[in-house]
Amino acid sequence: MTRTTPRVHRNLDELPADPNREDGALVRRLIADMERMTWDRVGAHVLRNADRNLQFKENGKSLATLRSHPLGEGDSAVIVAAGPSVRRQNPAEVLRTRGYCGAIIATDSGIAHCLRNGIVPHLVVSLDPHPTRIVRWFGDPGLREQDLEEDDYYRRQDLDPIFANEVQANREIIALMRKHSRQMSIALSTSTSLAVVERVIEAGMQIYWWNPMLDDPEMPDSRTRELMNMNGFPALNAGGNVGSAAWMIADAVLGKRRVALTGMDFGYYGDTPLTATQYYREAVDLVGEDRVAELFSRIYNPHVKAWFLSDPAYQWYRQCFLEMVSEAQCETYNCTEGGILFGPNVIFCSLAAFLDQVA
C-alpha cells in the first residue's frame, strides 16, 4: 500500500480556519497537566543544582537583603524580558531616550538587549536550570563550534537578530559584560546551572540567592521547605518562568508599587513559523511532527486587535501570572504591546504611556 506524507502546519495561516478557535481539547488537557510535566522535565535538575550550589553560598547574599537596598528612584520598576515584541518595540531604547530613573530589572535573556541599547539594568534575574543554554545569555567564554552544531535553540527562534551569527553574538555579549557586569546585581535562583553560577562569579556580579517555590512550603515533605532548610534562602513563587520571577521580585521584595512589563509576550506574532517557537522541539517529541500544530492556539488580543500564537507552556505561564497578580500589592502594566498577557488586574498600555505616568 502507498503511504502519504502527513500534513505539517508550519505557519499560523495554515492552522484550521476557525476564527473563534482559541484552543482544542489537547491544548486544554496539557495546560491542566503542565505543572506535573514541568516537574518531570526539570525537577531533577533543580534539586541537583541547588545541592551543588551550596558550595557557592558565601559568594552572595540572601535575596531578602534587597529589601533594605532600594534599586532605582521612586516606586516604579520596568521588567525587560526577551519576548518577540522586543524586536518591534525596542523598550531599552525607549527607557534610554526618556531618561527613566526607576528600577530596571532584566531577565537573563534581556541582558543583551539592554546593554546593546545603552541601558545597564539594576538587577538581572536568572532561574532556568538548563545545564548549557542559559550561560550564553551572559556570554559563554567556553562556547565551542560543536555546541552550536548540537543545539539550534538560539538560531532557530525569533530572538534578537544578533543570534543569527551565534559566534559573533557571543563575542559581543562577552565584551558588554566585561564592561558592565560589575554594575549589575543578579537575583540568582539556586536552581541555576554550574555554568551560570561560575560565569556570574567570574563576571563580578553581586549575587542575591533565592529558592524557586516548587510546592507549598507548609505541606509535609515539601521540596521547597527542604531547599530552604538546606541553604537558608527564601523561596519565591516564580510562576514557572524568569519574567514572572522578575515581576514578583519587583513587587514582593523591592516593594515597587507600579511595575511595567516589556517583552513578556507569552506568545508569538501571527506570522511566526511554528519551527521558530521556543518549545517546538519539545512539542514534536510529545506528539510528532504531523500533529504539532494541534499544540498551538490562536488567541485574540483585543487591546491591539490582533491574533497571536501560543503553546500550552506559555498559556500555563499566563494562567499562573494572572493568579499571582490578583494578590499583588503593586499595579501591573503590560507594556509589551502584543502577546497574550492581558486580563483582570493587568493595565495594558504602551511603555511611553507608563513612563508619562511615573515621570
DSSP readout, 292-317? GGGG-EEEEETTTTEEEEE-HHHHHH
| CA 225 – CA 47 distance, rounded (Å) | 12
Task: Please give the model's pTM, rounded to 2 decimal places.
Answer: 0.91
145-154, 250-259, 346-355: which has the minimum mean pLDDT? 145-154
C-alpha cell at 199: 560565569
User: Closest Cα partner for 328 from 266, 255, 276, 278?
Assistant: 255
Domain ranges of the chain: 19-358
Beta strands (DSSP E) in 39-108 are: 60-62, 76-80, 103-107
Is the CB of residue 80 less than 8 Å from the CB of residue 106? yes
Contact partners, residue 50, CB within 8 Å, separation at least 6 = 190, 191, 211, 227, 230, 231
| CA 116 – CA 112 distance, rounded (Å) | 6
Confidence of residue 2 (pLDDT cuts 50, 70, 90): very low
Confidence of residue 36 (pLDDT cuts 50, 70, 90): confident
131-140, 184-193, 274-283: which has the minimum mean pLDDT? 274-283
Determine whether 302 is exposed, middle or buried from the number of CB atoms within 10 Å of its CB (0-12, 13-18, 19+).
exposed
Determine what percent of the chain is predicted with pLDDT higher than 90.
Answer: 72
Q: Does an H or E element contain 211, and which? A: strand 206-212
| CA 42 – CA 84 distance, rounded (Å) | 24
Note the pLDDT tens digit of each residue in 144-197. 888 888 888 888 876 677 777 888 999 999 999 999 999 999 999 999 999 999
